[in-house]
Chain A
């Protein structure tokens, strides 16, 4: 069977190759490119179509919502992603329970099948864990176990710091150099001696290290999508054993699940963005800013068209959509990083500086800056910012004095904002409000 497929593939390749040779024999200096010259030239994406010509017939059937079926059976499944997002939400709740032990929160983070870590029994029964997918993408960490270990240690550290530094001072008023509670409007925030809210670091850090990393650097990567004989199987509609979907379809859906895994109607997720505390919520927030309205739809459409392209076995269109998603989701992370730095600056500049409000904003900003190392430039193997650059930013954010955020200056906040925004197609002012 396999041999037969191989021969088929080879003959198809030969067939295509000979066609391309024909095209190349046509003189290319004859005339300016037109949409009727029978040559792929100009900005055309195929012979006489695409670019400024009429769109090519891709054979792609792009549905209105994220619904894909094979012989009447649903092929979209991302239960593992939904499970991890739910685990993430429960872990965040535990950060606010000052009676929780570090061991308990750590066990939730590194859940093992059957352990009684969560309120939700289904989560306890699951063999999935959040920690095992932290900084776990093939592209960025497949050959970088060192950074993976350092990053996971950082998340472990935020758990123990919350329990060891903040919980003992739960009923103490925070001041410079002293952990404790502080007012932020009608809310009460719980911060470290340097003004950091560890739950925000953990939460916004996971947006990068879990959701963004898994989507952009793992499931949308050709290394994962095209692994092994995924292309052959997808070309021939050979489904995963006992499943309705091909492996490639499923990989794409797993990316989708990290973005939309908790929406009420996952086929139309933009109806209730904010369904979880991670990427989903902040796609919604950025979309709610007039400067970036429409970005949620662009991300969703790219996911949908890319998935439809897989069904149509059109990997060129699939990969174009993956690049769009990489750029847009990376931009969401960067916008929020700058947004919170600027909100923090505004809170500190009041006649009576609103420290609690500022620390909350800047702790969110800290987490989003941390997440920048998991972004991904389109058509590149690099993230927008390296781990080293991100680490330097974070040292700077806490480096204006010995008490961290208590001492941070406008100059530092603006410099960080500019340094982030300049690698993207938005301004600090656009992200600020």
Chain B
């Protein structure tokens, strides 16, 4: 907290120095209420996003049941389409790793990639596995389904052949177990929000390190930095390891959607920043309106604009790319994708330094120890 006193002091000093040019010598009163922002987040963004995701998951399960009952290429394609839709929908909830989601380790349980195909094959062979174990997080969720739906053969005929071979029972059973696990976790998270966490979250409207806004802003930035920026782009690009790892793209077995998954996550992040209601154009109180409200001087209004412009610029460069796997495999270095990554990276200091210091929020995470 000491840091922020110093920052406040510096800001005061800057004010003092520039007061000649300002309309008023008095700093604007901070009138922003954090409570309504939390209500907007919980009721108009987080809960509706989870509800929609949950529905997509139900559709996915139904498509699987259809495929199981009548195993053919056409039903495989429907099953895959439902998987893509649910995976896209997942991108709108992946950032909410707080409360019930954190308790069940939702994000790693649903989307740890690259998936561990050796482990999956060993589970298929033995029929003995406990998907609730930490070590099985890389053998379940969307990436495991990616392997099971897209990775078992080069063509749809080959894949369907697997599901009609002597391995049929094991494959169907494992797919069902993975889906059941995803449904169970999602239900727990949604129930958690409906049965008390919403109130806990909204009522914890102070401004301390343990207040909901401070906590969630940390979670939001952590998601942006580690999962969106690094997980979906930086790691496959080899930014951290020094050598490209195209096999680490999200949805590796259906690599033409990796870019779309990223863009969905980027859009969800920007929409959250702007307080946009789920699946609507209506906006409520948000990090953006908080920044505008904090200070009516031009500087601060600029920051929310700067952040939105940077989101837009990032999107523009990513949209222009080919699919991620092709970008990485066919270009060395993958210059265009690296340029796009750099634009995404520019959002990190804007959020993690400029935005949080304006809001007097401390960052509580550091780069992992790595051992």
Contact = CB atoms under 8 A, between A and B. Distances in A.
B279 interface: no
Contact of B134 (A182, A281, A346, A351): A182
A356 interface: yes
B135 interface: yes
B35 interface: no
Nearest to A351: B215
A186 B102 contact: no
Given A171-B130, A351-B210, A183 B137 contact: yes
Contact of A356 (B112, B134, B364): B134
A181 B368 contact: no
Contacts of A346: 364
Interface string A333-372: 0000000000100100011100010000100100000000
B134 A188 contact: yes
B4 interface: no
Contact of B132 (A173, A186, A356): A173
A154 interface: no
Given A186-B108, A352-B99, A173 B133 contact: yes
Interface of A is mostly: mixed
A188 B98 CA distance: 20
A100 to B, nearest CB: 17
Nearest to A181: B134
Contacts of A407: none
Interface string A249-281: 000000000000000000000000000010001
B188 to A, nearest CB: 13
Contacts of A343: 369
A433 interface: yes
A393 B133 CA distance: 33
B135 A186 contact: no
A185 interface: yes
Interface residues of A, number: 20
Given A173-B133, A186-B108, A188-B134, A351 B98 contact: yes
B98 A183 contact: no
B135 A188 contact: yes
Given A181-B134, A351-B102, A186 B210 contact: no
A188 B134 CA distance: 6
B103 interface: yes
Nearest to B135: A188
Interface string A416-433: 000000000000000001
A40 B246 CA distance: 69
Interface in B133-156: 133-135, 137
A356 B135 CA distance: 12
Nearest to A183: B134
B133 A181 contact: yes
B41 to A, nearest CB: 16
B233 to A, nearest CB: 17
B133 A171 contact: yes
Interface string A170-183: 01010000000111
Interface string B97-109: 0110011010010
Nearest to A352: B102
16 contacts: A171-B130, A173-B132, A181-B135, A182-B134, A183-B134, A185-B368, A186-B112, A186-B137, A188-B133, A188-B135, A189-B134, A343-B369, A346-B364, A351-B98, A352-B99, A356-B134
Task: Name the 4 nearest CB pairs between A and B, nearest first.
Answer: A183-B134, A188-B134, A352-B102, A188-B135
